[in-house]
Amino acid sequence: MREGYVKRETRETKIELTLNIDGEGTSQINSGVGFFDHMLTTLAVHSGFDLTLNCKGDLVVDCHHTIEDIGIALGSALADTLADKNGIARYGNSMIPMDEALASCCIDVSGRPYLIFNVEFGDYRLGDMDYEMVEEFFRAFAMNAGVTLHINLIYGKNDHHKTEAIFKAFAHALKSAVKIEGDEILSSKGSL
């Protein structure tokens, strides 16, 4: 079983996270940000990853540190879980509709962190979460997981639907990328 554990403590957040990428999609999530908990639960269900998260953040300031630091922790856990990336498919892509919204995600588990995020939101908030934190989460994840991540909103009107389509597309793309397909590293260089 491929599992990772991260305990991260700063003056702004205290995070404990476990990740099992060979799981069943179960989750126990408490970030203190309800809408974000909903998105992380969606991520677990659609990726098939087991995710346990407990975070105490400085939400009296706002949700920024909490969500960004969870992205750092989740990305670090994935990087530790995959170790040398031997045998993984490496690439994954998915296009997911959520009612009127359509999102795509392409990922390369390459060891080279990069984020392209082509999404526009119409409102300032998604429940108790600032909409700009969607991009910040994915940036923190990509930089700490060492993945190249392209997220594109093809179209959509409702910000909740847009965000949920993004997280579901990400989950399915990531699930495909970490699937074991062989016993070698998928690279002409022989390493990632």
Which pLDDT value is given to residue 63? 92
- What integer pLDDT is reported at residue 166 of this predicted model? 98
Q: What is the pLDDT of residue 58?
A: 94
Entry pTM? 0.94
**What per-residue confidence (pLDDT) applies to 186?**
58
Q: What is the DSSP letter of 87?
A: T
Q: Are strands 13-20 and 3-9 parallel, antiparallel or unpaired?
A: antiparallel
The per-residue pLDDT for 84 is: 82
Per-residue pLDDT, 91: 96
Which stretches of the chain score pLDDT less than 50? none
Note the pLDDT of residue 187: 58
Q: What is the pLDDT of residue 123?
A: 75
pLDDT tens profile 142-177: 999 999 999 999 999 999 999 999 999 999 999 999
**Would you call 9 exposed, middle or buried from its count of C-beta atoms within 10 A (0-12, 13-18, 19+)?**
exposed
Which residues touch 71 (CB under 8 Å, ≥6 apart)?
136, 137, 138, 139, 140, 141, 144
Name the DSSP class of 19.
E
| C-alpha dist (Å) from residue 31 to 41, 158, 168 | 11, 24, 19
Question: Which residue ranges form the domains of the chain, and what is each CATH number?
Answer: 3-177 (3.30.230.40)
